[in-house]
Amino acid sequence: MTHSFNRYSTVSALDIGSSKICCLIAKISKDQKINIIGYGHNESKGIKNGIITDISQATLSVCNAVESAEQMANERINNVIVNVSGEKIKSSIREATIAINRNRPVTDLDINKVIEKGTNKLNIEGNELIHCLTTGYRLDMGEETKDPHNIYGENLSAKILLGLTPEVQYKNLASVIENAHLEIADKAFSAYASGLACLVDDEKELGATIVDIGGGCTNIATFRNGYPVYFSCIAVGGNNITNDIAWGLTTSAAHAERLKTLHGCAFLTSKDAEENINVYPVGEEDDTLIKQVPKSELINIISPRVEEMFELIGHKLNEHGLKDVNSHRVVLTGGCAQLSGIREVAMMILDKQVRIGRPRNILNLPEKIYNPEFSTAVGLLMFSGVQTEKKPHKVLHKTINSDNKFLQILDWLKQSF
């Protein structure tokens, strides 16, 4: 199956986050070069921790971002590639092996057959299938290969990565898109898209985890041998830091966000106790009531939350067996990745090489979009041109146990007699 956008010269991406909604419109040339012609973004409402909490408000936020992008591009859009996020996303690996003809090399027929076996009777009860990615092949249980074509062997094995999100949450997302008079042409996990935008080829090959720190949650995707191999998410993001500041300094959320941006840092220095910052008490508009507090008080609020965030990320990496792999890198992106000192704290807690990732894999990127907070949106544009996913023709959404079977037979008897 090919992506639906491959037939068109225009691609539209919609990043629906807890802090902002961003829409990008781009033209794709015949040689797959992407040129962004319009963008729009605004504060998101009706979304918390990556989950739709108010359909009407979320729809309005989407419409405003899309309209801004359309006006800049001077073009109307009907289809979008949309991101999927939230703490309940998950991934799992399925493996399959088939016997092949030892007298001829591997063909497309063999590859399709092993993938079909790996996805046969796929049970995703209560979930929506977002990704179904073949992450590598083996012949006769030997070394892993990306492309087994024209190689001889007796057995062909494949690993298939499944990315899932709760079905109910996806239906709410789909409702927002539909209410905005748009159609979902494709969908991708936020961190997968960010990885496409930020990671260099060597990182994807040798092993790297992209950590997309958004407002409501932090999305995680691990790449190895050129493919994503793991998806996860934690329900901690930049908004948690902002809320901590608002509570700790008794100020408004808007002023807390401003303090975080202007004076925030992920770790304390000796000079922070000597510098004072202005804090507006919540509900007060009189400048004479401004209070001054040491900058160290602000940092002491931010630092524990940032440390907690990376400890949770460390647990995720440990679950996937990556914590002690020295060669494995971590790339931070998303709006909160711009917090001063966050890279150093990540290096200390995760004990890995860490860098800040910006969307870099599109030429002539507008300066405003060359920013970690737009990594997901840019990656969604790139997703239209990556290797296609072979999703199963049929998936099972419910497990039929013996009790269900009995009830079905009883219903049939009642209707028939």
Strand partners, 395: 122
Compute the CA torsion angle 398, 399, 405, 407 (nearest 10 deg).
Answer: -50
pLDDT tens-digit readout, 177-190: 999 999 999 999 99
Is 417 a residue whose pLDDT tops 80? Answer: no
Report the distance separating Cα 43 and Cα 239, nearest Å.
13
Report the distance separating Cα 60 and Cα 58, nearest Å.
5
Q: Looking at residues 231-237, what average pLDDT do you find?
A: 95
Phi-psi region of 184 (alpha: psi -120 to 50; beta: other; left: phi over 0): beta
pLDDT confidence of residue 33 = 86
Residue type, 28: I
Domain ranges in the chain are 90-166, 201-359
Is 409 a residue whose pLDDT tops 60? Answer: no
CB count within 10 Å of CB 71 equals 11
Residues 6+ apart with CB under 8 A from 240: 305, 309
Report the distance separating Cα 124 and Cα 58, nearest Å.
27
Could you tell me the pLDDT band of residue 4, with boundaries at 50, 70 and 90? very low
Q: Looking at residues 99-116, what average pLDDT do you find?
A: 94
pLDDT tens-digit readout, 336-349: 999 999 999 999 99
Q: Looking at residues 198-209, what average pLDDT do you find?
A: 94
The secondary element (H helix, E strand) that includes residue 145 is strand 144-145
Q: Looking at residues 320-334, what average pLDDT do you find?
A: 86
Report the distance separating Cα 330 and Cα 370, nearest Å.
19
Stated pTM of the model: 0.89
Is 14 a residue whose pLDDT tops 60? Answer: yes
Could you tell me the pLDDT band of residue 415, with boundaries at 50, 70 and 90? very low
Report the distance separating Cα 272 and Cα 260, nearest Å.
14
Say what percent of the chain tops pLDDT 70.
Answer: 90
Least confident of 155-164, 364-373, 405-414: 405-414
- Alpha-helix runs per DSSP H in 331-396: 342-350, 375-383
Cβ atoms 329, 207 nearer than 8 A? yes
Residue type, 136: G
Pairing state of beta strands 354-356 and 329-333?
parallel
Q: Looking at residues 261-267, what average pLDDT do you find?
A: 95
Is 2 a residue whose pLDDT tops 70? Answer: no
Least confident of 228-232, 241-245, 358-362: 358-362
Q: What does the DSSP 8-state code read for residue 36?
A: E
Instruction: Select 201-359's CATH number: 3.40.50.720, 3.30.470.20, 3.30.1490.120, 3.30.420.40.
Output: 3.30.420.40
Residues 6+ apart with CB under 8 A from 404: none
Report the distance separating Cα 48 and Cα 21, nearest Å.
12
Task: Could you please state the CATH topology (level 3) that the domain comprising 90-166 is classified under.
Answer: Dna Ligase; domain 1 (3.30.1490)
Per-position DSSP letters for 76-132, written without gaps between them: ---EEEEEE--TT-EEEEEEEEEE--TTS---HHHHHHHHHHHTTTEE-TTEEEEEE
Residues 6+ apart with CB under 8 A from 266: 302, 303, 306, 339, 340, 341, 342, 344, 345
Q: Looking at residues 8-32, what average pLDDT do you find?
A: 90
Q: pLDDT: is 392 or 126 the higher one? A: 126
